[in-house]
Amino acid sequence: MNYRKIGNLTVSSIGLGCMGMSHAYGTPGDKVEMRELIAAAVDMGITHFDTAEVYGTPDDPHDNEKLVGAALAPYRNKVVLATKFGIHFDMSLLKQGKSPVVCDARPETIRRSVDASLQRLGTDYIDLYYQHRVDPKIPAEEVAGVMSELIAEGKIRHWGISEATEEDIRRAHAVCPLTAVQNRYSMMARAYEALFPVLEELNIGFVAFSPFANGVLTGAYDASSTFEAGDMRANMPQFTAAAMEENAALLGLLHELAAEKGATSGQIALAWMLCKKPYIAPIPGTRKRARLIENAGAADIALTSEEVAAIDARLESIPMSAVFGILRN
pLDDT in tens, 117-153: 999 999 999 999 999 999 999 999 999 999 999 999 9
Does residue 43 belong to any structural domain of this protein?
Answer: yes
pLDDT at position 329 is 40
User: Would the pLDDT of 96 be above 80?
Assistant: no
* Overall number of domains in the chain: 1
Does residue 171 belong to any structural domain of this protein?
Answer: yes
List the domain range (segments joined by +) for residue 40: 3-214+279-298
The b/e string for 61-82 (b: 16+ C-beta within 10 A; e otherwise) is ebbbbbbbbbbbeebeeebbbb
User: Would the pLDDT of 46 be above 60?
Assistant: yes
CA distance 25 to 37: 17
Task: Please tell me which residue, 222 or 11, carries the higher pLDDT value.
Answer: 11
Q: Which residues contact 179 (CB under 8 A, 6 or more apart)?
A: 6, 7, 8, 9, 128, 158, 159, 160, 204, 205
Does residue 265 belong to any structural domain of this protein?
Answer: no
Does residue 53 belong to any structural domain of this protein?
Answer: yes
User: Would the pLDDT of 206 be above 90?
Assistant: yes
Q: Can you give the CATH number for the domain in which 199 is found?
A: 3.20.20.100
Task: Provide the CA 140 distance to its chain's centre, in angstroms.
Answer: 21
Task: Please tell me which residue, 185 or 58, carries the higher pLDDT value.
Answer: 185
Task: Please tell me which residue, 164 or 276, carries the higher pLDDT value.
Answer: 276
User: What is the average pLDDT score of the chain?
Assistant: 94
CA distance 252 to 271: 17
Does residue 9 belong to any structural domain of this protein?
Answer: yes
pLDDT at position 24 is 80
Does residue 315 belong to any structural domain of this protein?
Answer: no
Does the active-site annotation cover 130? no
Does residue 166 belong to any structural domain of this protein?
Answer: yes
Task: Please tell me which residue, 154 or 220, carries the higher pLDDT value.
Answer: 154
Average pLDDT over every residue of 208-216: 94
Helices (H) and strands (E) in the chain, counts: 11, 12
Does residue 245 belong to any structural domain of this protein?
Answer: no
- Set 55, 130, 185, 279: catalytic member: 55
**pTM of the complete model beyond 0.75:** yes
